Amino acid sequence: MIKWNKKFEYPKSIRSLINDERHYDIGEEKLPSVTTILQATQSDHKKAILENWKKKVGEDNAEHIKNTAANRGSIMHRIIECYLLDRRHADLTDLGMQAGVMAQTIIDEGLEGRMDEIWGTEITLYYPNLYAGASDLAGIYEGRESIMDFKQSNKPKKREWIDDYFTQLAAYATAHNHIYGTKIQSGTILMCTKDNYFQEFTVSGQQFQRFMWNWFRRVDQYYSNLGKNESK
């Protein structure tokens, strides 16, 4: 089993919806989630790609594909978390068995022998007055302080397609560094497709810094747009 080091006390939180946007209730604060901010500040180009895809496959089919992927991803995350916590988890539905194979691939290819130390799984992270979110895993990965996320996909991804995933990692790392005094400058995405194709994407160093700055640009854009909407 991977070594645990519960050196940080991560906060408990409650998720809520405000105007159909996910927020985290942390103490007296209600903070927008990282994914809420990313979705609200998505580029027109990415919005157009999504709309074109919906038109191509049909609205109903697009919703079915999205929901199936979300459910499969939730089960996959739960199985990986149980592995990290040394617990058993079984889901004998067709979707559950598929997610189980995907989770095992991520464990075998991405975690076994590579994760040196775990600080926490499914941890709530927040930056006071700005945002909050839940990171899948934080700790020491291949000798480096790291934030990690597990992703499922219907098909393989190219690195240039997943800037928002890297920005998400940077948001979590920035919050962790701010609250706990860490110096996380690396993030890794461990991804598996429904056909069991494993991919790994790591961002670090100056590139990671650029995603951190891009994240705060998106946060500023989100609150600027929010202020404009509230003044109408």
Pairing type for strands 186-193 and 144-153 reads parallel
Among residues 137, 155, 149, the alpha carbon closest in space to that of 69 is found at 155
The fold for domain 3-52+116-227 equals Lambda Exonuclease; Chain A (3.90.320)
Q: What percent of the chain has pLDDT over 90?
A: 73
CB 192 within 8 A of CB 106: yes
Write down the pLDDT at residue 176.
98
The answer to whether residue 231 scores a pLDDT higher than 60 is no
Residue 232 CA to residue 4 CA, distance in Å, equals 50
Contacts by 32-39 with C-beta closer than 8 Å and gap 24+?
32/131, 32/132, 32/222, 33/131, 33/132, 33/133, 34/131, 34/132, 34/133, 34/168, 34/171, 34/172, 35/133, 35/168, 37/131, 37/171, 37/218, 37/219, 37/222, 38/164, 38/167, 38/168, 38/218
Write down the pLDDT at residue 230.
63
Taking only Cα atoms into account, the Rg of the chain, rounded to an integer number of angstroms, comes to 18
Write down the pLDDT at residue 194.
93
Query: What average pLDDT does the segment 71-78 reach?
Result: 93
Query: What average pLDDT does the segment 42-49 reach?
Result: 83
| 190-225 confidence digits (pLDDT tens) | 999 999 999 999 999 999 999 999 999 999 999 998
Query: What average pLDDT does the segment 90-115 reach?
Result: 93
The tokens for 113 are: 């022998």
pLDDT band at 228 (very low <50, low <70, confident <90, very high): low
Pairing type for strands 3-4 and 115-127 reads parallel
The tokens for 28 are: 């007296």
Render the burial of 142-165: b for 16+ CB within 10 Å, e for the rest: eeebbbbbbbbbeeebeeeebebb
Query: What average pLDDT does the segment 127-137 reach?
Result: 96
pLDDT band at 53 (very low <50, low <70, confident <90, very high): confident
The answer to whether residue 41 scores a pLDDT higher than 80 is yes
The tokens for 161 are: 């397609």
Query: What average pLDDT does the segment 18-29 reach?
Result: 90
Please tell me the total number of residues recorded for the chain in this structure. Answer: 232
pLDDT band at 18 (very low <50, low <70, confident <90, very high): confident
CB 127 within 8 A of CB 101: no
Query: What average pLDDT does the segment 180-198 reach?
Result: 97
Mean pLDDT of the chain: 92
What residue has token string 């989630």?
A: 33
The answer to whether residue 51 scores a pLDDT higher than 60 is yes
